[in-house]
Amino acid sequence: MTILVTGATGRVGRQVVQQLIQRDAKVRVLVRDPAKADFPARVEIAKGDLLDIDALRSAFNGVRTLFLLNAVAGDEFTQALITLNIARECGVERVVYLSVLHADRFVDVPHFAVKFGAERMIQQMGFSATILRPAYFIDNDLTIKDVVLNHGVYPMPIGAKGVAMADARDIAEVAAIELIRHDQSPRKLPVETLNLVGPDTLTGADVAAIWSDVLGRQVVYSGDDPSGFEQNAAAFMPKWMAYEMRLMAERFVSDGMIPENGDTERLTAILGRPLYSYREFAGAFAAEMKQV
C-alpha cells in the first residue's frame, strides 16, 4: 500500500521521503506546488494542502499509512484535525505524527499545545500510531550561523538546564522506520510515543564552547534573556510567531528540554548506529567554511 507524506518539501519531510525510497516503499507526497517537488519519478505527486478537502480525499485514495507533519501556522490545529478526520473517513488507520518533545508540559507555548491536542485526537480516534516527539532541531542553528561566525556569539537563549538537540537526519530515519513498521504490519499496532533526542544535553554555554573549539576562536553565549531573540525573529517572521518562539525559549530556560532515561539507547537500537551530535554538525560546518 501507499504511504502518504505531508510536509514533504521541508527539512524533515524531504528526508523522510528519501528514507522511504531507500526502503522500496510506495510513496505519495501532498504538496502545494508540484514544481518544488523534485523527487524521483517513482514518487507520486498529489497537489493540495491540509485544508483542501477535495485534494485530501483524492490524495488518500489507496493510502494505508500517513506521515503527518504540519508546520507552525496560525491554523495548524485546524490543519491537523481536518487531515485526521479525512484520513479516517478514507479508511486510513495508521499514522506517524511529528509532534514535539514536552508537548504535554509546555502547554503555554501555542504550537506545543496544538501538537498535544493532535496527539490526543490520534489516540481517541483509534488510529494505530507512532507519535514522534523531537527536541530542538540541531540544524535550526543554520539560521544563526552568521552571528556565530561574524560576531563570535551564540545567540539562541536555550538556558542552563540543557537541551537534547536532535538531528533532522535521525528524526527522518526513525520516522521512515516507523512508517514501514506500521504499513507492513498485518494488524493495527498500539499507539506508541518516541522521544527524539540527540546524544548530548547541552546548555547555551556548552554550545558556545563547541563552536569555540571547532572554529579555533572564542564564541560566547549571549545569555538567557529571550527579548532580543523575539525582536530579531520578528524581522523575518510574523510577530505572533516571533512571540511564540520567545515563549518556547522561556521554557528552554526554565525547564530545559531533557530526555527521559533510556531515550538515547532506544533510538540507537532503532537506528542501529550512534545518533548524530551537535559537535558533528558544528565541525562539518566549520570545515566547509575553511574550504570557501
Instruction: For 87-148, give the DSSP string.
Output: HHHTT--EEEEE--TTTTT-TTSHHHHHHHHHHHHHHHTT-EEEEEEE-SBGGGGGGGHHHH
pLDDT at 292: 57
pLDDT at 76: 94
pLDDT at 63: 97
Q: Mean pLDDT for the chain?
A: 95
pLDDT at 291: 66
Burial class (CB in 10 A: 0-12, 13-18, 19+), 273: exposed
Mean pLDDT by groups of 10 residues along the chain of 292 residues: 94 96 97 90 95 97 96 93 97 97 96 97 97 96 92 96 98 98 96 98 98 96 92 91 94 96 97 98 87 62
The pTM of the whole model exceeds 0.85:
yes
HSE-CB of 184 using CA atoms within 13 angstroms: 11
| pLDDT tens sequence across 94-122 | 999 999 999 999 999 999 999 999 999 99
DSSP label of 35: G
E strands, the chain, in order: 2-5, 26-31, 44-47, 63-68, 94-98, 128-134, 153-154, 192-196, 220-221
The whole-angstrom separation of Cα 285 and Cα 145 is 9
The conformational region for residue 113 under phi > 0 = left, psi -120 to 50 = alpha, else beta, is alpha
pLDDT at 36: 83
